[in-house]
Amino acid sequence: MNCALETRDRAELLVAYSFRKLDAARAALVEEHLAGCEACREVVRGQRAAWDALDLWEAEPVSADFNRRLYQRIEAQVTWRDRLLAPLRPLGFHRGLPLAAAACLVLVAGAMLDHTAAPPPKSASGVSRVAVVESLRPDQVVEALDEMQELSRFNDLMKPEPAPESRM
Protein backbone atom coordinates (compact mmCIF):
# COMPACT_ATOMS: atom_id res chain seq x y z
CA MET A 1 0.00 0.00 0.00
CA ASN A 2 1.37 3.43 -0.94
CA CYS A 3 1.41 6.26 1.56
CA ALA A 4 -2.15 7.46 2.19
CA LEU A 5 -1.13 11.09 2.10
CA GLU A 6 -0.31 10.87 -1.62
CA THR A 7 -3.92 10.78 -2.84
CA ARG A 8 -7.15 12.20 -1.59
CA ASP A 9 -8.99 8.85 -1.59
CA ARG A 10 -6.36 7.29 0.61
CA ALA A 11 -6.34 10.29 2.93
CA GLU A 12 -10.11 9.91 3.26
CA LEU A 13 -9.47 6.24 4.04
CA LEU A 14 -7.25 7.30 6.96
CA VAL A 15 -9.93 9.65 8.26
CA ALA A 16 -12.54 6.88 8.04
CA TYR A 17 -10.14 4.56 9.88
CA SER A 18 -9.62 7.20 12.59
CA PHE A 19 -13.37 7.51 12.98
CA ARG A 20 -13.64 3.70 13.16
CA LYS A 21 -15.96 3.51 10.16
CA LEU A 22 -14.07 0.88 8.10
CA ASP A 23 -14.95 -2.77 7.79
CA ALA A 24 -12.52 -5.27 9.32
CA ALA A 25 -10.73 -6.13 6.03
CA ARG A 26 -10.00 -2.53 5.07
CA ALA A 27 -9.10 -1.63 8.65
CA ALA A 28 -6.54 -4.48 8.62
CA LEU A 29 -4.99 -3.07 5.41
CA VAL A 30 -4.72 0.40 6.94
CA GLU A 31 -3.19 -1.01 10.16
CA GLU A 32 -0.63 -2.90 8.10
CA HIS A 33 0.30 0.35 6.32
CA LEU A 34 0.42 2.30 9.60
CA ALA A 35 3.00 -0.15 10.95
CA GLY A 36 5.51 1.18 8.43
CA CYS A 37 4.46 4.81 7.82
CA GLU A 38 5.11 7.39 10.55
CA ALA A 39 3.37 10.24 8.62
CA CYS A 40 0.11 8.29 8.39
CA ARG A 41 0.30 7.27 12.06
CA GLU A 42 0.61 10.97 12.92
CA VAL A 43 -2.47 11.79 10.82
CA VAL A 44 -4.47 9.03 12.55
CA ARG A 45 -3.32 10.22 16.00
CA GLY A 46 -4.37 13.78 15.18
CA GLN A 47 -7.74 12.70 13.83
CA ARG A 48 -8.47 10.51 16.85
CA ALA A 49 -7.44 13.30 19.23
CA ALA A 50 -9.81 15.69 17.45
CA TRP A 51 -12.71 13.19 17.57
CA ASP A 52 -12.04 12.40 21.23
CA ALA A 53 -12.02 16.11 22.09
CA LEU A 54 -15.31 16.57 20.24
CA ASP A 55 -16.82 13.63 22.13
CA LEU A 56 -15.91 15.28 25.45
CA TRP A 57 -17.16 18.74 24.51
CA GLU A 58 -20.57 19.81 25.76
CA ALA A 59 -22.27 22.90 24.44
CA GLU A 60 -23.67 25.41 26.87
CA PRO A 61 -27.45 25.32 27.10
CA VAL A 62 -29.33 27.99 25.16
CA SER A 63 -30.94 30.64 27.33
CA ALA A 64 -34.72 30.71 27.60
CA ASP A 65 -35.02 34.07 25.84
CA PHE A 66 -32.55 33.25 23.04
CA ASN A 67 -35.19 33.17 20.28
CA ARG A 68 -36.75 36.45 21.40
CA ARG A 69 -33.37 38.21 21.46
CA LEU A 70 -32.39 36.71 18.11
CA TYR A 71 -35.57 37.91 16.41
CA GLN A 72 -35.14 41.37 17.95
CA ARG A 73 -31.62 41.58 16.52
CA ILE A 74 -32.86 40.46 13.11
CA GLU A 75 -35.63 43.07 13.14
CA ALA A 76 -33.23 45.76 14.32
CA GLN A 77 -30.74 45.24 11.50
CA VAL A 78 -29.85 48.58 10.01
CA THR A 79 -29.83 49.20 6.25
CA TRP A 80 -26.85 50.76 4.52
CA ARG A 81 -28.84 53.96 4.02
CA ASP A 82 -29.50 54.25 7.75
CA ARG A 83 -25.79 53.74 8.45
CA LEU A 84 -24.88 56.35 5.86
CA LEU A 85 -27.28 58.92 7.30
CA ALA A 86 -26.64 58.12 10.97
CA PRO A 87 -24.05 60.91 11.43
CA LEU A 88 -26.57 63.46 10.15
CA ARG A 89 -29.38 62.46 12.49
CA PRO A 90 -28.12 64.33 15.58
CA LEU A 91 -28.00 67.48 13.47
CA GLY A 92 -31.64 67.14 12.45
CA PHE A 93 -30.90 66.84 8.73
CA HIS A 94 -32.75 63.57 8.33
CA ARG A 95 -36.18 65.21 8.27
CA GLY A 96 -35.49 67.95 5.73
CA LEU A 97 -33.00 66.08 3.60
CA PRO A 98 -35.53 64.53 1.17
CA LEU A 99 -37.21 67.90 0.71
CA ALA A 100 -33.88 69.63 0.11
CA ALA A 101 -32.84 66.93 -2.36
CA ALA A 102 -36.13 67.31 -4.25
CA ALA A 103 -35.70 71.09 -4.35
CA CYS A 104 -32.16 70.73 -5.69
CA LEU A 105 -33.40 68.31 -8.34
CA VAL A 106 -36.07 70.76 -9.44
CA LEU A 107 -33.53 73.60 -9.62
CA VAL A 108 -31.05 71.54 -11.61
CA ALA A 109 -33.78 70.31 -13.96
CA GLY A 110 -34.98 73.88 -14.41
CA ALA A 111 -31.47 75.13 -15.13
CA MET A 112 -30.93 72.35 -17.67
CA LEU A 113 -34.20 73.02 -19.41
CA ASP A 114 -33.97 76.79 -19.31
CA HIS A 115 -32.04 78.01 -22.25
CA THR A 116 -32.22 81.45 -23.67
CA ALA A 117 -32.61 81.36 -27.39
CA ALA A 118 -31.98 84.25 -29.71
CA PRO A 119 -35.16 85.95 -30.80
CA PRO A 120 -36.48 84.54 -34.07
CA PRO A 121 -35.60 86.45 -37.18
CA LYS A 122 -38.27 88.77 -38.44
CA SER A 123 -39.42 89.08 -41.97
CA ALA A 124 -39.46 92.34 -43.88
CA SER A 125 -42.98 93.02 -42.62
CA GLY A 126 -41.78 92.61 -39.01
CA VAL A 127 -43.65 89.39 -38.42
CA SER A 128 -41.78 86.47 -36.99
CA ARG A 129 -41.95 83.44 -39.26
CA VAL A 130 -40.04 80.97 -37.12
CA ALA A 131 -41.78 79.19 -34.34
CA VAL A 132 -39.58 78.09 -31.47
CA VAL A 133 -40.69 74.79 -30.02
CA GLU A 134 -39.07 73.56 -26.85
CA SER A 135 -38.95 69.81 -26.56
CA LEU A 136 -37.58 67.22 -24.19
CA ARG A 137 -35.86 64.07 -25.23
CA PRO A 138 -37.62 60.91 -24.00
CA ASP A 139 -34.56 59.84 -22.03
CA GLN A 140 -34.67 63.14 -20.09
CA VAL A 141 -38.27 62.47 -19.09
CA VAL A 142 -37.48 58.89 -18.05
CA GLU A 143 -34.48 60.02 -15.98
CA ALA A 144 -36.54 62.70 -14.24
CA LEU A 145 -39.29 60.20 -13.41
CA ASP A 146 -36.74 57.69 -12.09
CA GLU A 147 -35.15 60.34 -9.89
CA MET A 148 -38.54 61.41 -8.56
CA GLN A 149 -39.38 57.78 -7.73
CA GLU A 150 -36.03 57.32 -5.96
CA LEU A 151 -36.62 60.50 -3.95
CA SER A 152 -40.05 59.22 -2.97
CA ARG A 153 -38.51 55.95 -1.73
CA PHE A 154 -35.82 57.90 0.10
CA ASN A 155 -38.48 60.04 1.74
CA ASP A 156 -40.35 56.92 2.90
CA LEU A 157 -37.16 55.55 4.43
CA MET A 158 -36.47 58.77 6.28
CA LYS A 159 -39.79 58.81 8.12
CA PRO A 160 -39.08 58.47 11.85
CA GLU A 161 -39.62 55.00 13.23
CA PRO A 162 -42.02 54.63 16.18
CA ALA A 163 -40.35 54.17 19.54
CA PRO A 164 -40.04 50.50 20.50
CA GLU A 165 -42.49 49.44 23.17
CA SER A 166 -40.98 47.98 26.31
CA ARG A 167 -42.18 44.43 26.89
CA MET A 168 -42.27 42.80 30.26
pLDDT at residue number 47: 87
- Strand spans (E) along 11-88: none
For the chain, the 3-state helix, strand and coil shares in percent, each to the nearest 5, are 60, 0, 35
Of the candidates 31, 35, 32, 42, the residue with the CA atom closest to the CA atom of residue 5 = 42
What residue ranges do the domains of the chain occupy? 8-56, 79-114+132-157
Which residues on neighbouring strands pair with residue 128, listed in sequence order? 122
**pTM, entire model:** 0.35
Residues whose CB is less than 8 angstroms from the CB of residue 19 and which lie 6 or more positions away in sequence, other chains included: 47, 51
Closest listed residue to residue 27, CA positions, set 36, 40, 17 = 17
* Structure confidence at residue 53 as a pLDDT band (50, 70, 90): confident
With contact defined as beta carbons under 8 Å apart, do 51 and 19 qualify? yes
Mean per-residue pLDDT of the chain: 78
Q: What's the whole-number mean pLDDT along residues 15-19? A: 86
Q: What is the mean pLDDT of residues 144-156?
A: 85
- Over residues 29-47, the pLDDT tens digits come to 888 888 888 888 888 898 8
Backbone phi, psi, residue 158, to 5°: -85, -5
Residue 116 pLDDT greater than 70, yes or no: no
Distance, CA of 74 to CA of 84 (rounded, Å): 19
